[in-house]
Amino acid sequence: MMLTPQQVQADEALLQLGRRLRADGYRFTCVTPATQARNNARHGAERATSLRDVFGWSRPFSEGLISADELQQLRAAQVLHEEQGLLRSRVRWSNLDDLLLVHSAYPTEASDAVFFGPDSYRFAQVIHDHLQRSPTRVQHAVDIGCGSGVGALLIARVAQHAQVSAVDINPLALRYTAINAALAGVGNVSVESSDLLDGVSGQFDLIVANPPYMLDAGQRTYRHGGGALGAELSLRIVEQACERLSPGGSLLLYTGVAIVQGRDALLEAIRLRLAGPEWAWVYREIDPDVFGEQLLEPGYERVERIAAVALTVNRSA
């Protein structure tokens, strides 16, 4: 990925800001947009009073709240916005265990917003559970639609001998993944622009993906899954991943599915695609009811619930 000198300078400033926050003991757990909105709507939350307010809750702040160094790093990174005499950071910083990750500020309205949130924590747990069983088998892995780089970083830290690719169609996601990898001290992650796996070559013995699964009117990259109810991208990933899995390799897909009258259309499609002795797979609901507010959106009139699901596919050796 080629960056302009200005982008290189901006990303270095963000990396230095992340190091400063980590050294200062900053911690924040990222929540759903609905929970974020409720917290920010409370009395007294109109303006930031701490670093967590600035870089976690995405609240406006006065110039004197943060250090001069932090303010300069925000300016150099080109992520400082001024509104009504106050400042606001265009990025958030959130923790996943001991990782500190940069991602887009709330609200994530931009078409190129880089996602991190509760789905990321569940996705991380799916990867963690798999790597606990078979970390030594991973030689070549890829995180499809890497976003902030969660999947790639988790694999790279456990399988330090592995070559790990982080791919995304969003240039900003690739930049943030590279920053997060540098902040984590991980050297075996490469970032590449790709529409799913179209832009990368070779076979993989571990493929992970946490694709968007909503029907989003704005068709934001991080959120819109395509198709009637957001499942199109998940099915495309299964198709492409199965073609690129090495013998004995695994696919870990964490996604969401809209349940209509008790029917899981994604599961039905997967049953057809993974029929036969070449594939051993497990499909399970991790959370039966996520993002309930989405049911108020156009297109969801017949949807009962949205379930978070995990699919593990193993190709026979």
Confidence category of residue 135, pLDDT binned at 50, 70, 90: low
Residues 6 or more apart whose Cβ sits within 8 Å of residue 181:
149, 152, 153, 156, 166, 187, 189, 191
Condensed to tens digits (0 to 9), the pLDDT of residues 32-71 reads 999 999 999 999 999 999 999 999 999 999 999 999 999 9
User: What pLDDT shows up at residue 74?
Assistant: 97
Q: What confidence tier does 136 reach under pLDDT thresholds 50, 70, 90?
A: low
Task: Using the predicted structure, report yes or no on whether residue 209 has a pLDDT greater than 70.
Answer: yes
Give the tens place of pLDDT for each residue, 145-187. 999 999 999 999 999 999 999 999 999 999 999 999 999 999 9
Across 169-230, the runs of DSSP E, i.e. the strands, are 189-193, 204-209
Q: The tokens 């029929």 sit on which residue?
A: 275
Q: Is the pLDDT of residue 249 over 70?
A: yes
Residue 80 pLDDT exceeds 80: yes
What's the CA gap between 108 and 213, in Å, rounded?
16
The answer on pLDDT for 94 being more than 70 is: yes
Q: What is the residue type of 237?
A: I
**Lookup result for tokens 């330090």:** 160
Check if the beta carbon of residue 227 is closer than 8 Å to that of residue 189: no
Angle (CA) 260 262 267, round 5°? 85
pLDDT the model gives residue 164: 98
Domain 118-315, CATH 3.40.50.150 — does that match?
Answer: yes
pTM for the full predicted model: 0.95
Hey, where are the domains in the chain? 5-104, 118-315
Residues 6+ apart with CB under 8 A from 85: none
Output helix, strand, coil percentages for the chain, rounded to the nearest 5.
Answer: 35, 25, 40
Average pLDDT over residues 207-213: 95
Mean pLDDT of the chain: 94
All residues at 6 or more sequence positions from 133 whose CB lies less than 8 Å from its CB, including other chains = none
- Integer Cα distance of 198 and 241 in angstroms: 11
pLDDT at position 46: 95
Q: Which of 89-103, 204-218, 280-294 has the lowest mean pLDDT?
A: 204-218
pLDDT computed for residue 31 by the predictor: 97
| Percentage, residues of the chain above pLDDT 90 | 88
pLDDT tens track for 106-115: 999 888 999 9
